[in-house]
Amino acid sequence: GAVVSQHPSWVICKSGTSVKIECRSLDFQATTMFWYRQFPKQSLMLMATSNEGSKATYEQGVEKDKFLINHASLTLSTLTVTSAHPEDSSFYICSAERGEQETQYFGPGTRLLVL
Amino acid sequence: GENVEQHPSTLSVQEGDSAVIKCTYSDSASNYFPWYKQELGKRPQLIIDIRSNVGEKKDQRIAVTLNKTAKHFSLHITETQPEDSAVYFCAASIGGGYNKLIFGAGTRLAVHP
């Protein structure tokens, strides 16, 4: 199969702190990973595309200095929410693409609550 | 920008009945259309997908149809079971590639015993 993990699964932090979320492809190499955000009872909204060894591509309206993405290896991408505020509270989900023209496999998500 | 519209937002059926969820997309370059099932608090799971060179695909009780001319694709679930209850999302690739996806708003399916 294609397994994607995320860590942590949930995090509670104070306003103003930074939070790092890791996304790993456990049994395959992923040159491309994606970061999504999902509010309660809403759809998945693509935040950015993370490419191994290059800068991430951010969707319109997503602040790249707010949501730092690093894809340092073929199995790991990280999303850092800098200076988090309550409005950043959400469910963050990553996905990894296995090879070209392949399906996206989703991680289990990280629930972030900023107090 | 590009978008995907999904209907209905909620769907309630009796066990054994069929369920149909419809999506339309705006990007004429879209060529990959996956469907995901998401249970509460869990990750989206791919249930079926279709590429633009195919008009229909079936996997046991699940089928997807694609009409590229109308920019329309649908999910059909037959002989529904209570465990089919979940939120279903359609998605369409954008930008001419296969990987960047735009998701529909989701359909909450409830199957009653």
Question: Phi and psi (nearest 5°) for A40?
Answer: -50, 130
CB-based contacts of B47, cutoff 8 Å, min separation 6? B35, B36, B37, B59, B62, B88
**Which of B10, B87, B99 to substitute to test the interface with A, most A CBs within 10 Å?**
B99
Beta carbons of A43 and B106 less than 8 Å apart: yes
* Calpha distance B43→B40 (Å, rounded): 9
Q: Does A54 touch chain B (CB under 8 A)?
A: no
- pLDDT attached to residue A52: 83
Task: Print the SS3 string covering B67-86.
Answer: ECCCCEEEEEECCCCHHHCE
Residues of chain B with Cβ-Cβ distance to A45 below 8 Å are 103
> And the tokens for A43?
């759809």
Over the stretch A47-83, which tens digit does the pLDDT of each residue have? 999 888 888 999 999 999 999 999 888 899 999 999 9
Q: How confident is the model at residue A2 (pLDDT cuts 50, 70, 90)?
A: confident
- Chain A hits for B101, Cβ within 8 Å: 34, 46, 104
The answer for residues whose C-beta is within 8 angstroms of residue A94's C-beta and 6 or more apart is A4, A6, A21, A23, A33, A34, A35, A36, A77, A79, A106, A107
pLDDT at B16: 97
Residue B96's pLDDT is 62
Q: In this complex, which of A44, A46, A60 lies closest to B44 when CB atoms are compared?
A: A44
Residues of A in contact with B42 (CB under 8 A): 108-109
CA separation for the pair B90, B103 (Å, rounded): 6
pLDDT at residue A101 tops 70: no
Position of tokens 């103003």?
A16
- pLDDT: which is higher, A101 or B58: B58
Task: Tell me how far apart the alpha carbons of residues B31 and B103 are, in angstroms, rounded to a whole number.
Answer: 14
Q: Are B90 and B70 in contact (CB under 8 A)?
A: no
DSSP state letter for A59: P
Task: Give yes or no for residue A1 having a pLDDT over 80.
Answer: no
Paired residues of B88 in beta bridges: B37, B107
Q: By percentage, how much of chain A surpasses pLDDT 70?
A: 96
CB pair distance less than 8 Å for A43 and B89 = yes
Cβ B12 vs Cβ B82: under 8 Å: no
Q: What is the mean pLDDT of chain A?
A: 92
pLDDT tens track of chain B, all 113 residues?
789 999 999 999 999 999 999 999 999 889 899 999 999 888 999 999 999 888 999 999 999 999 999 999 999 999 999 999 999 999 999 876 657 899 999 999 999 99
Q: What is the pLDDT of residues A14-24, one digit of tens each?
A: 999 999 999 99
- Taking a contact as any Cβ pair under 8 Å apart, which residues of chain A between 65 and 104 contact chain B? 93, 97, 100-104
Gap between the Cα atoms of A85 and B58, Å rounded: 45
Could B42 and A97 be called an inter-chain contact, meaning their C-beta atoms sit closer than 8 Å? no
Give the pLDDT score at B53: 84
Who among B41, B89, B100 is closest to A44 (CB)? B89
If you average pLDDT over residues A73-95, what whole number do you get? 95
